[in-house]
Structure formats: structure tokens, C-alpha cells
Amino acid sequence: MPGHFEPLPGGGAAVALDDVEISIIRSLAVQLLELIGPGPAEEPTDDPLAELFADGPSEPPSDPVLRRLFPDAYSDPEGTAGPRQAEEQRASSAEFRRYTENDLRAGKRDNALAVIRSLDALSPAGDAGAVLRLSPGASQQWLRTLNDLRLAIGSRLEITDEDDSDLLYHLPDEDPRKPMVMAYLWLGGLQETLVGTLMP
């Protein structure tokens, strides 16, 4: 079990984590929370319907990591759209973002908080660290947060395709990106084994 998730009887997943691994995941999840930022101001309202339809931002985030976590819903990655079509895509993306980004941010915050709380609740199990046991629902939250962490780190490392990932394996040890690369690859392994445990 060390270093990878295994299925639990009846659903869910388990993984053995040592103190360093727990500290790394927790630190990254806290940084993710800080990056996503707090939710809208919590002001009590008598109109729950108005609260449900509160407007979010209409412009993409300026931070490249946040742009990766909250991409435009309509875009032209190939760059083949004409000026009019590109403008329509920008307008559609702005409208979509306005009504969805607040909820997306709240969901990512909830997932990251669930990861932090599950790590904080772990009891040490000797030299092996601790065994994290997750329910099916908590496994999904972990999976989403691991994905967000990899997207965030991948964005900082400027990974845009599989070829970029392959280059990371050959970085010299003295490269300042090496620790981030190691975290990226390790989280990818965790994510892959967690996906495997959740597949029927």
C-alpha cells in the first residue's frame, strides 16, 4: 500500500502516508485554498433565490494557475476562429463564467478542505506513518483535489502537453524546478492509483 491507493471492501480507498508525504499534501492543499481565495462575503439575506443567482466574475483570472483551474468554457485552441466568432466566444465565456465560477470555486475549496481535514484526523501508525482510509465520497474529493494540485503545479512548470511531461524526467538534480517536478510526478502516481480503485 505505501505510495499508492488500494480499494477498500465496500468502496472507498486507502493509502499509507508517512509524515513527510502528509506534510507535503497538506501544505499544497493549503496553498491551493489560498490561491482560490475566500468565497463571496457571507451576508445574510432574506432572499435565498437572489443568493443562488449571485453574479460571479465575467473576466478570466489574471493568474495563469487560476486560468488553468477555471478555463474559459468557449475557446478556440486551434486559433481558427475569425474575429466575429472569437468575440462571440469571449462573450459566451464571460456569461458562463459569471454564473458558474463562484460555485466552481466553492466546490474546489470544499474538496481541498476535506483533504486537509482527513489528513489532520490521521493517527500515526508507527514508522510507516499512517493509513488514510477514505469513503467513496471522500475518495472523489481527494481525486478532484489531486487533479487541481497537478493542474496548478503543471501550470507553474508550463506543462502544456505530454512532451513537456517527458522532459521533466530528465531534469538535472540542480535544476530549481526539480522539487516541484517530483511533487507533480508523485501526485500523478497517487491520482492514477486512486482512479484505479474507483473504477468498477
* Cβ atoms of residues 1 and 118 within 8 Å: no
Cell of 57: 466574475
- Tell me, what's the pLDDT at 124? 67
Domain map of the chain by residue range? 6-41+102-198
* Cβ atoms of residues 95 and 134 within 8 Å: no
- Residue 133's nearest CA partner among 38, 24, 1, 27 is 1
Predicted model pTM = 0.82
pLDDT string in tens for the chain (200-residue length): 457 899 999 889 999 999 999 999 999 999 999 999 886 554 445 655 555 555 666 677 888 898 888 887 776 555 666 777 767 777 776 777 777 788 889 999 999 999 999 999 997 666 667 999 999 999 999 999 999 999 999 999 888 776 666 777 788 888 888 889 899 999 999 999 999 998 87
Query: If DSSP codes are grouped into helix, strand and coil, which group holds residue 58?
Result: coil
* Cβ atoms of residues 64 and 155 within 8 Å: yes
- Residue 52's nearest CA partner among 111, 106, 131, 14 is 106
Torsion sign (Cα): 28, 31, 33, 36: negative
Q: Counting Cβ atoms within 10 Å, is residue 109 exposed (0-12), middle (13-18) or buried (19+)?
A: middle
